[in-house]
């Protein structure tokens, strides 16, 4: 690794990138981090991973199931008495971690296990965020995941009284969380109004007047908003649906609250079941 890439690194970062060290599990900045953007090499700023390829493997280090094309070099690693595949930045050759196959965490069946100290996150500022709840979050995931203009989507929980709730806790209805999907989208490709209309139509088709009283607490419909413009658009969208159909005027609009990403097996659920 050339010296020019090392001059701005801390002692700890040099230990990882140059000396091929490893940070302690569950201590890295990006282990439990899920925002929309790109991860670049800490040494040379070369793009390495899109955030939409990041997942929770439970290993204690940031995990990705794909790389940006041509971003990673692989080497055989015979250290520690076993055969592993080391991954390094293709531009500066800085050590990132190791890659593993056949663990079945995601559809791509690949895990790039990366040290947080070897990467840096750059947010995508052109994207907007939407969070909606209404029914099972598996179906909302399916509704939006492959939609053109949607860059990133997570199933999760919002609005409750418990930190880091589990699926089992939420299903009791006692935590006051609802199942949500939170998505990041490009408003130049799909508008926030389009996002809302899809949600409202889906809810109207799923729940009728007859079964409205049977909706579980964790499945009640809420549009969570994070700015004044989204709040106003949500109000208009609901009003228009009520005027044009027998749509139930029961949709709440609420300020966005802390989002808790659901367990990994809930992410992209239906596609995982069909693989």
Domain 128-273, what architecture? 2-Layer Sandwich (3.30)
pLDDT at residue 211 above 60?
A: no
Torsional sign, CA 98, 101, 105, 109: positive
Q: Could you tell me what percent of the chain has a pLDDT over 70?
A: 95
What's this model's pTM, rounded to 2 decimal places?
0.90
Task: Tell whether the model's pLDDT for residue 210 goes beyond 90.
Answer: no
Whether 113 is catalytic is yes
Looking at domain 3-123, its CATH class is mainly beta
CATH fold match for the domains 3-123 and 128-273: no
Would you kindly state where each structural domain of the chain is located, as residue ranges?
A: 3-123, 128-273
Query: What pLDDT digit, counting tens, does each position of 147-168 carry?
Result: 999 999 999 999 998 999 999 9
């Amino acid at each position: 690794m050339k010296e020019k890439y090392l001059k701005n690194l801390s002692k700890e970062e040099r230990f990882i990138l140059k000396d091929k060290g490893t940070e302690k599990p569950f201590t890295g900045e990006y282990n439990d981090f899920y925002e929309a953007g790109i991860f670049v090499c800490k040494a040379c700023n070369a793009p390495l991973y899109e955030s939409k390829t990041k997942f929770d493997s439970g290993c204690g280090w940031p995990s990705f199931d794909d790389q940006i094309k041509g971003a990673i070099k692989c080497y055989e690693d015979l250290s520690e008495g076993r055969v592993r595949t080391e991954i390094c930045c293709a531009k500066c050759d800085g050590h990132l971690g190791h890659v593993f196959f056949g663990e079945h965490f995601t559809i791509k069946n690949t895990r790039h296990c990366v040290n947080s100290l070897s990467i840096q996150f750059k947010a995508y500022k052109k994207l907007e965020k939407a969070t909606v709840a209404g029914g099972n979050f598996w179906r909302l995931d399916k509704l939006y995941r492959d939609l053109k203009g949607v860059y990133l989507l997570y199933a999760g929980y919002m609005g409750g009284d418990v930190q880091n709730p589990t699926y089992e806790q939420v299903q009791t209805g006692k935590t006051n969380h609802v199942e949500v999907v939170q998505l990041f989208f490009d408003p130049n490709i799909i508008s926030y109004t389009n996002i809302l209309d899809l949600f409202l139509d889906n809810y109207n088709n799923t729940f009728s007047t007859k079964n409205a009283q049977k909706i579980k607490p964790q499945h009640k419909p809420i549009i969570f908003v994070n700015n004044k413009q989204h709040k106003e658009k949500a109000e208009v969208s609901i009003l228009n649906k009520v005027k044009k159909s027998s749509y139930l005027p029961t949709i709440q609009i609420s300020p966005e609250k802390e989002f808790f990403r659901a367990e990994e097996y809930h992410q992209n659920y239906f596609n995982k079941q069909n693989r």
